[in-house]
């Protein structure tokens, strides 16, 4: 007896557990505390907000990135961007020199 396959238009990610981390960030209010610090804001209309940069760096670490160049995994994952509400994600060069 063979099982049929179903296809879905839903986006998937191997990092779905990050939804729990987003809930933790929201519950602790840490991003709001970071905003209160008065982080520098980019002056370019193409800049990425500081909170998104910090959160994407955290996520990179949580999923096992150990080089700045590996942060591209986060940048290219549409589901992670949706979970965290990021419009854009920084390149690895934002975090340090490659």
List pLDDT tens digits, range 27-37: 999 988 998 99
List pLDDT tens digits, range 86-95: 988 888 888 7
Domain ranges for the chain, please list them: 48-98
Alpha helices in 1-98 (DSSP H): 18-28, 30-36, 50-62, 72-76, 78-84
* Position with higher pLDDT, 17 vs 28: 28
Q: Please give the backbone phi and psi of residue 82, each rounded to the nearest 5 degrees, phi first.
A: -70, -45
Tell me the C-alpha distance between 36 and 73, whole Å: 29
């Amino acid at each position: 007896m063979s099982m049929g396959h179903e296809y879905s238009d839903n986006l998937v990610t191997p990092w779905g557990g990050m939804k729990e981390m987003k809930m933790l960030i929201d519950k602790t209010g840490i991003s709001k505390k970071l905003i209160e610090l008065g982080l520098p804001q980019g002056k370019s209309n193409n800049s990425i907000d500081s909170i998104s940069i910090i959160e994407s760096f955290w996520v990179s670490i949580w999923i096992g990135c150990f080089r700045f160049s590996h942060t591209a995994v986060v940048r290219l994952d549409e589901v992670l961007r949706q979970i965290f509400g990021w419009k854009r994600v920084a390149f690895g060069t934002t975090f340090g020199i490659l």
